[in-house]
Homo-oligomer: A and B are copies of this chain.
Amino acid sequence: MEPIAEKKKLILESALALIKDHGFHGCPMSMMAKNAGVAAGTIYTYFDSKDDLIGELFFYAKSIIFNHVSGSDDPSLDFKTRFFNYWNNLSELYLDRPEIQSFFEQFMISPFNTREIQNADSPWHDWNSNFFQEGIDKGILRNLSPDILFIMVIGSVNSMSKVRQNFSEKVAERGIDLNQLAEMTWDAIRKQ
């Protein structure tokens, strides 16, 4: 993949930040342009349409997640440790860059998420398949499809992050410890 042009990246990041606060439909192209410091028309030099921009944002955001999680994995460690690293890295990313999580949630359930995009190659998905397959092969994880382990884990991280982001007050006031979900999820996927 060729590196993203400077101004294009500027627009993507600007859009990402705004979408978190206003949602897809609360972000006119003009707002994204202004926030990125370019004219409205300029966006169309880099993207065909708003749909296109959001589609590219999906791959952009996914690559950030992929790089963050896979880049921090150390295959020389024991698998349980690697799993908790995985969990913590992803959790941390969502905490540091809530706009990424927010974008993903919105995108996955939006009409922008076309069948075409779903079927596109995904290094992130491939990496996960390999990761969980390794755990299976080592006899540490349940002997199930790596896909289902991935679904279990990613569902839990997302659920946790969503609660952390949207119900922070309630979490605090009731003293809920969201980190316990990592342990629980480990028990869900490990060989019993």
Binding site for B on A (CB under 8 A): 22-26, 102, 105-106, 108-111, 113, 118, 142, 144-145, 147-148, 151-152, 154-156, 158-160, 162-163, 166-167, 170, 174-178, 180-181, 184-185, 187-189, 192
Contacts and interface: CB of A to CB of B under 8 A. Distances in A.
A118 to B, nearest CB: 7
A175 B145 contact: yes
For the complex, would chain A's binding face be called helix, strand, loop or mixed by DSSP majority?
Answer: helix
Determine how many copies of this chain the complex contains: 4
Chain B CB within 10 Å, residue with most, of A106, A109, A188, A192: A109
A181 B156 contact: no
Contacts of A189: 184
Nearest to A21: B111
Given A102-B109, A111-B23, A187-B192, A156 B147 contact: no
17 contacts: A22-B111, A102-B109, A105-B105, A108-B162, A108-B166, A113-B166, A142-B184, A145-B177, A147-B176, A148-B178, A148-B181, A151-B159, A151-B160, A151-B178, A155-B160, A184-B188, A187-B187
A24 B170 CA distance: 27
A155 B159 contact: yes
Contacts of A178: 148, 151
Nearest to A115: B169
A26 to B, nearest CB: 6
A118 B158 CA distance: 18
A45 to B, nearest CB: 12
Contacts of A145: 174-177
Considering the complex of A and B, which 8 residue pairs feature the smallest CB-CB distances, nearest first?
A155-B159, A188-B188, A184-B188, A25-B25, A105-B109, A145-B176, A155-B155, A147-B176
